[in-house]
Amino acid sequence: MKKRSATVAIFAAAALVLSGCSAAQSGSGDHTITFMGWGSDQEIAVFNDMIAQYETKYPGVKVDYITVPAADFQTKLQTMIASNKTPDVFYLAPENVMPFASSGIVADLSDYVKSNTEFDVNNVWAKAIDMYRYDGTTPGKGAVYGLPKDIGPFALAYNKDLFDAAGITAPTDDAPWTWSQFEDAAKKLTTGSGDTKVYGSAPYSLESAVWSNGADWLNADHTKVTVTDPKFVEALQWVANLSLVDGVVPTSEEESSLPSFQRFLNGNVGMMGVGPWNQGGFWADAKFNWDLMPWPVSPATGEKAIWYGGIGFGVANKSADKQDASNLAAFLAFNEGAQRTNMEQGQAVPNLIDMTKNEYLKSDKAPANKQEFVNIIEDWGRRATQTYTYNSEWFTLFNSNLANVWTGQQTAQDYTKSVEKDMQDLLDKGIAEQSK
Amino acid sequence: MARTNTAVRRTGTVVSFLLMLAGGVTMVLPFLWMLSTSLKQSNLVFGPPQWIPDPINWANYSRIWDAAPLATGLANSTIVTVLVVAVGTFSSTMAAFAFAKLAFPHKRTLFVALLATIMIPLVVLILPQFLVYAQIGWIDTLLPLIVPGLLGNVTMIFFLRQYMLGIATELMEAAKLDGAGFFRIYWSIFLPLCKPAIAANVIIVFMATWNDYLGPLIFTSSPENSTVQLVIASLNSFHAEQTDFPLIMAASIIAVLPVVILFTITQKYFVDSFAFTGIKG
Amino acid sequence: MTTIRRRQVMQRRERLWGLLFVTPIGLQVLLFCIVPVGIAIVAGFTNWNVIKGTYDFIGLDNFVEFLTDKKFWIAAGNTVYMLIPIPFYLFFGILFALGSHRGTPGSRIFRILFFLPYISSIVALVVMWRWLFNYQYGLVNQMLAGIGIQGPDWLGDPAWIKTTIVIMIVWKMIGITSIYVLAALKNIPEVYYEAARLDGASAIRMFFQITLPMLSPAIFFLTIVGIIGSLQTFVEVQLFTSDGGRNYSAATITYYIWQKAFVSNDLGLAFAAAFFFALVILGVTLIQFRLSRRWVYEGE
């Protein structure tokens, strides 16, 4: 008798489990497509809203929205690809475009971009779409494998209240600070000690420093690692010294105790690099005035430099509902209502050029100097170097031990020397894979 | 002479008590700190240590259900654990009984093979298991966490076999003479006699299943199929940036509570059944 | 005649029931153990990559690749480092078991307290540990600061991360170790001690002459299980660090294999390394059994 009930329990449980997963496929509508991404609580709420709009516009299609923590996303996505459960639509990092395109994981959306009812490609930032182009040899050209979720210009934000209290005026875009002016301001802003210490700046963007100093991780055709270039070493050491010598940036240990992002929100950091995706959080939690300013320039070139990033929507090549999936990607990327929601929630600069100019720049929410974001997109922002290579493991390697420099355990010179060869090996491996 | 002996003994007891007290405090202090943190407001934890939160803030325990799919995680963990413990215990006791008391072909070989599986590193098994599950569409379902467990647990079989070996065989011979079938002998004679040992092993399997992280990490991906451990781990990596420690601590306490309660209730079985089994390598 | 016949029937039934009873676990071993191991052995000789979709026989290339990989050897060193907790938790576990065995007041309560870390999930412990050992705001460093010591960056500094993990494992394992030892203590016949007392043996002598030898099988068992477990340390590394720690300072072999399989998608290489690793563990275990003859008391 008891044995029988145990057997019944097994079947009941199995049925429960099986029905639990098949329900997602059948659903109440005609069919369901899955969409996987990550994001802050706000971003997830915004996407739920946008997905609801999509479902209203395309009746009969249900979207199963899966979110995983950003740190686990890449592993989870690869796991799902390996187990033939690739989501129909998923976040596609620019670094993944080349490998995913050449192994046929993401669908070629070029035809869709040419003729569709969702958007006009001329009204979209070209750089935003170019991040997902690949012609088999060169990234940034040829077929389109993803539509931009957003284009993320990384700008330098500052706490206006702290600036006013220290008697500092932020520079304007046509007259950016030099590195030494930046250091002077940061020193003036740094006050107090212990738990209430105010730091002049969050850890400085290494990309900005390196590029502005006229160096880069790789050479122009992305085949050779150039981190031992004296100009690179100089920029890296300068960034490290802001904390090691000047003490105007939290140390690496302090950063791991409480990230600068949180310190900035608490009003304890003067300047910090931010993206448009941070706006919503600041509107909600920042109890001070803040604005954007141009990145300081190195004396070597006098040129401003910073990256713009972004995440795209890729459509699975094996998707059973490619049309619906493409529609979802395009809807999330370009639909006017969806874009407006995204903008109003402080998640992004709109992908649509007219909406940016007519609505975003005219809104009265912080930052006042929104033009700075647009300048980076239109003018002097660059794609991150690692998005130009087939396999970015060389860049991961460079970063994984970089704290040796931040903590002063190694000088920039020693560190770059110690990793150069391994980086080159990994880069070569990627180049070999690409040409296979 | 006798007096000094008592004195020595008393001093020994005091020293031993103090040592155990020190140890006990070391063991429990981190948990108290976790509890204390979970009752603080998120922005008030970055300062000098404060053991009694002021004000005591229960909000984290209500906030957590919206911040993470904790309810789903708890439900999934419950389904997996209950099934594995209930059915798995049944399979394990059967196998243990057979290995201890029945004569059947290849018994020794099978038993040694069973023990050998313990030596295989988990990572060697889990990778190909993943590929097999991927082929049959089990990835991102709870099946990989449930089905193998239903078939039994090698450690449990090993311990219960040792325990049953200690039960007199005459009992079985007598039952056979009475015409009892083997299933009845197992079910109505051996199972009741093994209750304390089974109880101890049930707790261990319960703990191992409830606390399992590697399996869910590799075999499931979407939040609706997450177990409670995975939910906590996601919270941990998601909130690494925001460092909302009170929230994570509250979630961890909720995740740990079922096992602590179960163990506290049943802990008296532990030492007794281990003692009976005896560890002879 | 009938009795013999009856016995034969009984024997056949016994065989049948015996086989039936071990069928579930047999199936488990076959499906979830032998088949996977078979796949692992074959796949170790291929360049299996699920993203690229390659699956070709490449001989020993994988073995050459990981054996010449610097990271693999760093991971191997870290894996050996993870054996350090074993003597510590054995020592404290025995100490606690002895205290508990002599009936120190409060033993029952203490036993529950000592077990708390063991029964809590590793995920919860890591979460707790990250907060306790936070560089600036963690309880540990704040208490150290109270006595004038600047605590290290336990989780970020390559020189400390392994120590942090070791402390956590010792702390976690004392409880379960003491339960095993306590059970073994209860199995030591009281007559041994009575005889020794009649001979006028001191307490210390009795400990070394009776208690410790009688505990040796339990200690042996705990050492073997401990070594097999320690060599497979993974979850702590995966949860404490984002990529094995700076300079790969916390990564273990299992972590290396996991990274190859699920981060780089290099399944072939992962299988080869896993296969190699299994052989090493097997070897270590066999050596231990051989050595054990010298010090483990086997009984009469």
pTM: 0.88
For chain A, list the contacting chains (3+ Cβ pairs, <8 Å).
B, C
- CA dist., res. B154 & res. B117, Å (int): 8
Residues 92-131 of B with CB under 8 A from A: 130-131
Among chain C residues, the shortest Cα distance to A409 is held by C157
pLDDT of residue B273: 67
The answer to whether residue A85 sits within a structural domain is: yes
Instruction: Indicate yes or no: CB of A256 within 8 angstroms of CB of C51.
Output: no
User: Does the beta-carbon distance from B43 to A13 stay under 8 Å?
Assistant: no
Whether the CB of C189 is below 8 Å from some CB of chain B: the reply is no
Mutate to test the interface with B, among A21, A81, A85, A268 (most CBs of B within 10 A): A21
Mean pLDDT of A223-238: 96
Lowest mean pLDDT among A8-22, A167-181, A224-238, C62-76: A8-22
Q: Is residue A361 part of a domain?
A: no
Tokens standing for residue A78: 């690869």
If we measure between CA atoms, which residue out of A42, A23, A382 comes closest to residue A218?
A382
Whether residue A367 is predicted with pLDDT greater than 90 in this model: the reply is yes
Distance of CA C282 to the CA centre of its chain: 14
Residues A157 and A286 placed together within one structural domain of the fold: yes
> Do A300 and A320 belong together in one domain?
no
Query: For residue A378, what pLDDT is reported?
Result: 92
**Report for A257-261, B75-79, C178-182: range of highest mean pLDDT:** B75-79
Judged by CB atoms closer than 8 Å, whether chains meet at C262 and A404 is answered as no
**Alpha-carbon distances of A419 from A178, A415, B161, C252, rounded to whole Å:** 30, 6, 56, 21
Look at the block and give the residue holding tokens 């004195």: B7
Are residues A79 and B139, on separate chains, in Cβ contact within 8 Å?
Answer: yes
* Segment of A250-259, A368-377, B151-160, B224-233 carrying the highest mean pLDDT: A368-377
Quick check: is A372 in a domain? no
CA angle, C113 then C114 then C119, to 5°? 90
Which tokens in the block code for residue C124? 């919860």
Chain C, residues 102-131, CB within 8 A of chain B, namely: 102, 104-107, 109-117, 119-124, 126-131
Give the start-to-end residue ranges of the domains of chain C. Answer: 80-251+284-292
Asked if pLDDT for residue A11 goes beyond 80, the answer is no
- Closest chain C residue by Cα to residue B268: C108
Per the CB < 8 Å rule, is B222 touching A17? no
Name the burial class of residue A80, with classes exposed (0-12), middle (13-18) and buried (19+) by CB atoms within 10 angstroms of its CB: buried
pLDDT in tens, A89-130: 999 999 999 999 998 999 999 988 888 878 888 899 999 999
Q: Flag whether residue B46 sits within 8 Å of chain C, measured between CB atoms.
A: yes
> Which residues in chain C touch residue A256, judged by CB atoms under 8 angstroms apart?
134-135, 153, 155-156
Which residues, including other chains, have CB under 8 Å from residue A3's CB and lie 6 or more apart?
B90
Report the pLDDT value the prediction gives residue B240, as an integer from 0 to 100.
Answer: 57
CATH, residue A281: 3.40.190.10
**Interchain contact A33–C (C-beta under 8 A):** no
- Helix (H) / strand (E) containing A311: strand A306-315
- B221 CA: distance to closest CA in chain A (Å): 6
* Paired residues of A198 in beta bridges: A191
- Same domain for A303 and A186? yes
Token pair belonging to C148: 């004038």
Asked if A241 contacts A170 with a C-beta cutoff of 8 angstroms, the reply is no
pLDDT digits (tens, 9 = 90+) for A287-344: 999 999 999 999 999 999 999 999 999 999 999 889 999 999 999 999 888 889 889 9
pLDDT band of residue A194 (cuts 50, 70, 90) is confident
pLDDT at B151 > cutoff 90: yes
- The residue with greater pLDDT, C289 or A189, is A189
Contact (Cβ atoms closer than 8 angstroms) between residue A297 and residue A212: yes
A413 with A327, same domain? no
Residue C265 touches chain A, beta carbons under 8 Å? yes
Q: So what's the pLDDT on residue B280?
A: 40
Percentage of chain C surpassing pLDDT 90?
Answer: 42
Closest CA relative to residue A190, chosen from A236, A238, A245: A245
What is the average pLDDT score of chain A? 88
Segment A254-291, tens digit of pLDDT: 888 888 988 999 899 999 999 998 998 899 889 999 99
- For the stretch B172-181, contacts whose Cβ atoms lie closer than 8 Å and that sit 24 or more positions apart, written own/partner, are B172/B101, B176/C10, B181/C13, B181/C17
Contact across the interface for C156 and A254, Cβ inside 8 Å:
no
Is residue B259 within 8 A of residue B207, CB to CB? The reply is: yes
3-state secondary structure of A148: strand
Q: Please give the pLDDT value at position B269.
A: 76
Q: A147 phi and psi, to 5 degrees?
A: -110, 140
Task: For an interface test with C, give the residue of B6, B114, B124 to mutate (most C CBs within 10 A).
Answer: B124
**CA–CA separation, B182 and A148 (whole Å):** 68
**pLDDT tens-place string over residues C42-78:** 989 998 887 777 788 988 999 999 999 999 999 999 9
Question: Distance between the two ends of chain C, CA-based, in angstroms?
Answer: 42
Boundary residue ending a domain (A351, A377, A407) = A351
Instruction: Calculate how close chain B gets to C25, using CA atoms only, in Å.
Output: 5
* pLDDT tens column, B224-259: 899 999 999 888 776 555 668 888 899 999 999 999
What is residue A248's three-state secondary structure? coil
Measure in Å the smallest separation between the Cα of A254 and chain C Cα atoms.
6
Chains contacting C (3 or more CB pairs within 8 Å): A, B
| Spatial separation of the C-alpha atoms in residues A179 and A210, rounded to whole Å | 12
**Which residue in C has a C-alpha nearest to residue B210's C-alpha?**
C121
Q: How many CA atoms lie within 13 A of A160 on its CB side?
A: 12
The predicted model gives A4-19 an average pLDDT of 41
- For A233, residues 6+ apart whose C-beta sits below 8 A from its C-beta are A227, A412, A413, A416
Of A296, A325, A351, which residue constitutes the final position of a domain? A351
Q: Is A7 on the interface with C (CB under 8 A)?
A: no
Indicate the range of A23-32, A424-433, C266-275 predicted with least confidence.
Answer: A23-32
Report d(CA C206, CA C211) in Å as an integer: 7
B43 secondary structure, DSSP code:
G
Produce one character per residue of A400-419: b if its CB has 16 or more CB atoms within 10 Å, e if not: bbbbbbbbebbbbbebbeeb
Cβ separation of A67 and B143 shorter than 8 Å?
no
Residue B146 has pLDDT above 60, yes or no: yes
pLDDT at residue C1 greater than cutoff 90: no
Q: Would you say C250 and C237 are in contact if contact means Cβ atoms under 8 Å apart?
A: yes
Judged by a CB distance cut-off of 8 A, whether residue B204 touches chain C is no
Q: What is the pLDDT of residue A20?
A: 38
Kindly state whether residues A290 and A243 are assigned to the same domain.
yes
Are B224 and A41 a contacting pair at CB < 8 A?
no
Among C51, C136, C242, the residue with its CB nearest the CB of A81 is C51
- Rounded to an integer, what distance in angstroms lies between the CA atom of residue B214 and that of residue B148? 15
Q: Do C182 and B276 form a contact (C-beta atoms < 8 A)?
A: no
User: pLDDT class for B168, splitting at 50, 70, 90?
Assistant: confident
Q: Which residues of A touch B134 (CB under 8 A)?
A: 82-84
Residue B86 banded pLDDT, cuts 50, 70, 90: very high
Query: Given a cut of 50, is residue B106 above it in pLDDT?
Result: yes
Q: Judge whether B79 is closer than 8 Å to chain A, CB to CB.
A: yes
Average pLDDT for chain B:
86
Whether A289 and A338 share a structural domain: no
| A12 vs B: CB within 8 A | no
Q: Cβ B17–C271 below 8 Å, yes or no? A: no
- Spell out where chain B has E strands: none
Q: For the residues of A18-76, what is the DSSP string, one character each?
A: HHHHHHHHH-SSSEEEEEEE---HHHHHHHHHHHHHHHHHSTTEEEEEEE--HHHHHHH
Q: In chain B, how many H helices and how many E strands? A: 15, 0
Q: What pairing do the DSSP bridges indicate for beta strands A155-159 and A269-274?
A: antiparallel
Lowest mean pLDDT among A50-59, A354-363, B169-178: B169-178
Distance separating alpha carbons of residues A330 and C279, to the nearest angstrom? 52
**Stretch C128-143: mean pLDDT:** 90
Q: Which residue of C15, C17, C22 is the best one to mutate when testing the B interface, meaning the one whose CB has the most B CBs within 10 A? A: C22
Residue A1 pLDDT grade (very low, low, confident, very high; cuts 50, 70, 90): very low
pLDDT at A18: 40
Closest CA to C158 of C244, C258, C82: C244
Q: Quick one: pLDDT band at residue A15, thresholds 50, 70, 90? A: very low
Specify the fold of B61-277: MetI-like fold (1.10.3720)
Interface contact flag, A404 C247, Cβ < 8 Å: yes
Residue C150: both structure tokens together: 């600047």
CATH superfamily name and code, C80-251+284-292: MetI-like (1.10.3720.10)
Residue B214 and residue B122 in contact, taking contact as beta carbons nearer than 8 Å = yes
Range of the domain at A254: 153-308+386-435
- Residue with more model confidence, C265 or A271: A271
pLDDT at residue B1, as a whole number: 45
Beta carbons of A112 and A330 less than 8 angstroms apart: yes
Same domain flag for A73 and A85: yes
Compute the residue count for chain C: 300
Show the DSSP H helices in C30-106 as ranges. Answer: 35-43, 61-67, 70-81, 85-101
Instruction: Please state the rounded mean pLDDT for residues B172-185.
Output: 83
How confident is the model over C33-43, as a mean pLDDT? 88
Beta bridge partners of A64: A34
Say yes or no for a CB contact (<8 Å) between B48 and C142. yes
Task: With a cut of 50, say whether residue A14 has pLDDT above it.
Answer: no
CB of B131 within 8 Å of any CB in chain C?
A: yes
Structure tokens at C255: 């972590």
Q: What is the pLDDT of residue C89?
A: 96
**How much is the average pLDDT of C233-262?**
91
- Band (A27; pLDDT cuts 50, 70, 90): very low
For residues A283 and C77, what is the distance between their CA atoms, to the nearest angstrom? Answer: 49
Helix/strand/coil for B243: coil
Provide the number of structural domains found in chain A: 2
Indicate the residue of C18, C275, C282 with minimum beta-carbon distance to B102: C18
Cβ–Cβ gap A257/C242 under 8 Å: no
Q: How confident is the model at residue A16 (pLDDT cuts 50, 70, 90)?
A: very low
- Bridge-based pairing of strands A290-293 and A143-144 is unpaired
Provide the pLDDT for residue B263: 85
The percentage of residues in chain B with a pLDDT greater than 90, rounded to a whole number, is 34
* A57 inside domain: yes
For residue A152, give how far its alpha carbon lies from the nearest alpha carbon of chain B (Å).
Answer: 19
